[in-house]
């Protein structure tokens, strides 16, 4: 009784396994082939990892050597442009464009080394470029603006400019692919988009070798105007930084509520403009104080008349 039951159990197990394989639509031979394929894959995996690692190291080495070569090419081109006395802004701009283009070629070369089809890759990059261009229209307008700035040359590196959209001003230190950098008088760096600079009005104070210094000084109504004008003229004649062959104008500009405003116009070299303005202002204050010329401040004169009670004479 017991033996028959065990034999029946064994037959049931055998039938169940065969039935399960048939129900899954897989034969014993197919299962065996799949197992062999997995074994072969696991057996070849270390070798594939080793080959991939070696190719990855070679790719890193190619990128490193390519980066060194790109730096060498940029250095050679930069020296050539310096010998040709090309504009510094143009040098920076072309260097940025060349750097981006050479690195793009290097990446395509490495992708080709890994087996990617270069034509397909270029087509994909072209499609991606169109998509990115539509998404980054503002950045592309900055690139276009940079090209216009280099071609039209409204300013160059070293010029002192003031743009009218936000009132930023300073010395131009760099004209890049997307942005132009200014250095302010208090040593701050202002970064301006090239698109904004190309589409707004700006003032370039460094085009001419000379600048006209225009200053205003207020004196009290009780002060001697002729004496004050004489002091202003003597201070200009004593300062060698003023250009004496140009006409110097000292005049009464306006009669204001609390002061007589005197104006001064004289020519200085552009590199001396700010120092002369600051030094001359200080010298005028000290000279006015010494000569008794009053520098007024806003004031109000109140006149009180005698008020008599009503009915009294």
CATH of the domain at 214: 3.30.70.100
Other beta carbons within 10 Å of 300:
6
Q: Are 131 and 154 part of one and the same domain?
A: no
Does 101 map to a domain?
yes
- Our separate counts of H helices and E strands in the chain read 8, 8
Q: What is the mean pLDDT of the chain?
A: 79
Does 309 map to a domain?
no
Burial zone of 68 (CB within 10 Å; 0-12 exposed, 13-18 middle, 19+ buried): exposed
* Average pLDDT score over residue span 150-164: 85
Does 6 map to a domain?
no
Question: At CA 241, angle to CA 236 and CA 247, rounded to 5?
Answer: 55
Burial zone of 187 (CB within 10 Å; 0-12 exposed, 13-18 middle, 19+ buried): exposed
> pTM for the complete prediction?
0.52
Number of domains into which the chain is organized: 3
Q: Are 195 and 234 part of one and the same domain?
A: no
Nearest-10 crossing angle of helices 28-83, 88-113? 160
User: What's the pLDDT band for 8 if we cut at 50, 70, 90?
Assistant: very low
Does 215 map to a domain?
yes
Question: Which residue range is the domain that position 254 belongs to?
Answer: 210-291
- Bigger pLDDT: 295 vs 16: 295
Closest-CA residue to 198 (of 158, 143, 137)? 143
Q: Are 244 and 198 part of one and the same domain?
A: no
Which range (131-145, 224-238, 267-281) has the least confidence?
131-145
Q: Are 120 and 199 part of one and the same domain?
A: no
Q: Are 214 and 241 part of one and the same domain?
A: yes
Q: Are 92 and 180 part of one and the same domain?
A: no
Q: Are 42 and 130 part of one and the same domain?
A: yes
Does 25 map to a domain?
no
Q: Are 165 and 246 part of one and the same domain?
A: no
User: What's the pLDDT band for 292 if we cut at 50, 70, 90?
Assistant: very high
Q: Are 106 and 193 part of one and the same domain?
A: no
- Bigger pLDDT: 136 vs 245: 245
Residue 4 scores a pLDDT above 50: no
Residue 20 scores a pLDDT above 60: no
Q: Are 262 and 240 part of one and the same domain?
A: yes
Does 305 map to a domain?
no
Q: How many residues does the chain have?
A: 313
Among 161, 178, 204, which residue terminates a domain? 204
DSSP code at position 308 = P
Are the C-beta atoms of residues 197 and 165 closer than 8 Å to each other?
Answer: no
Among 135, 150, 181, which residue terminates a domain? 135
- Per-residue pLDDT, 124: 63
Q: Are 178 and 91 part of one and the same domain?
A: no
């Amino acid at each position: 009784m017991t033996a028959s039951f065990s034999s029946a159990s064994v037959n049931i197990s055998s039938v169940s396994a065969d039935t399960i394989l048939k129900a899954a639509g897989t034969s014993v031979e197919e299962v065996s082939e799949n197992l062999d394929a997995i074994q072969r894959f696991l057996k070849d995996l270390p070798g594939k990892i080793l080959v991939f690692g070696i190719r990855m190291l070679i790719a890193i080495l190619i990128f490193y050597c390519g980066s060194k070569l790109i730096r060498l090419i940029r250095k050679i081109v930069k020296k050539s442009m310096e010998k040709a006395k090309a504009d510094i802004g143009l040098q920076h701009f072309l260097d940025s464009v060349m750097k981006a283009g050479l690195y793009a070629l290097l990446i395509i070369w490495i992708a080709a080394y890994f087996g990617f089809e270069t034509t397909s890759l270029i087509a994909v990059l072209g499609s991606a470029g169109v998509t990115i261009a539509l998404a980054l229209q503002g950045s592309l307008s900055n690139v276009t603006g940079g090209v216009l700035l280099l071609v039209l040359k409204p300013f160059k590196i070293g010029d002192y400019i003031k743009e009218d959209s936000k009132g930023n001003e300073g010395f131009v230190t760099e004209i890049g692919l997307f942005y132009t950098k200014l250095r302010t008088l208090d040593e701050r760096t202002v970064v301006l988009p090239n698109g904004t600079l190309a589409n707004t009005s700006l003032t370039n104070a460094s085009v001419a070798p000379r600048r006209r210094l225009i200053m205003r000084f207020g004196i009290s109504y009780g002060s001697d105007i002729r004496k004050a004008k004489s002091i202003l003229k003597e201070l200009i004649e004593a300062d060698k930084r003023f250009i004496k062959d140009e006409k110097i104008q000292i005049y009464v500009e306006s009669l204001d509520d609390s002061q007589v405003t005197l104006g001064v116009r004289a020519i200085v070299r552009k590199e001396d403009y700010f120092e002369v303005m600051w030094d001359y202002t200080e010298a005028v204050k000290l000279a006015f104080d010494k000569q008794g010329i009053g520098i007024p401040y806003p004031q109000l004169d109140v006149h009180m008349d005698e008020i008599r009670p009503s009915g009294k004479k």
